Amino acid sequence: MSTVLVAFGASPQRWTKPSQGLTVKIKTVPELPVVGIVEIPLDILEEIGQPMDGAMVDINVYYIDMTGMLMGGLTTLQDNGRYAITADCIMPGNWKITEYVRNVSVNETQEFGLVIQ
């Protein structure tokens, strides 16, 4: 997996490219995340553009400005290819979101950068 660093922004920024034809759209609720509870919904589409239901989607959220701060777990399938998890981002700064998507035909990992205000 190659990593390409880009400037952080208010919305999650993709750090790695998908390798197996998946499209993963990630956002945060609230849209401009602040310290506290942040919902991380992901919309996952298969290569043919169809929503991917029935996958196992794990999310890890790392605070990269300091070592030792990691949260994560399995997401919950909402519907129509949308998965979500909440994270308690207790410090402002730079965070890395790593998502792992697995099912019978896919084993995909992507990374995103996020700034918490």
CA distance 30 to 7: 20
Write down the residue that tokens 């920024």 correspond to: 13
Residue-level pLDDT at 3: 28
Does residue 74 fall inside a structural domain? Answer: yes
Domain count, the chain: 1
What pTM was computed for the model?
0.82
pLDDT at residue 96 in the model:
92
Range of the domain at 25: 13-116
Q: Report the chain (117 residues): mean pLDDT per 10 consecutive residues.
A: 35 66 88 92 90 94 88 94 93 93 90 90
Residue 47: predicted pLDDT: 84
**65: region left, alpha or beta (phi > 0 left; psi from -120 to 50 alpha):** alpha
- Is 3 domain-assigned? no
Q: Evaluate whether 25 touches 15 at the Cβ level (below 8 Å).
A: no
The answer to whether residue 56 sits within a structural domain is yes
In-domain check, residue 4: no
**Single-letter residue type at 33:** P
Can you give the pLDDT at residue 22? 86
- What single-letter DSSP state applies at residue 49? S
Considering the domain boundaries, does residue 26 fall inside one? Answer: yes
Residue 53 within a domain: yes
Separation between Cα atoms, residue 8 and residue 110, nearest integer Å: 16
CATH of the domain at 49: 2.60.40.10
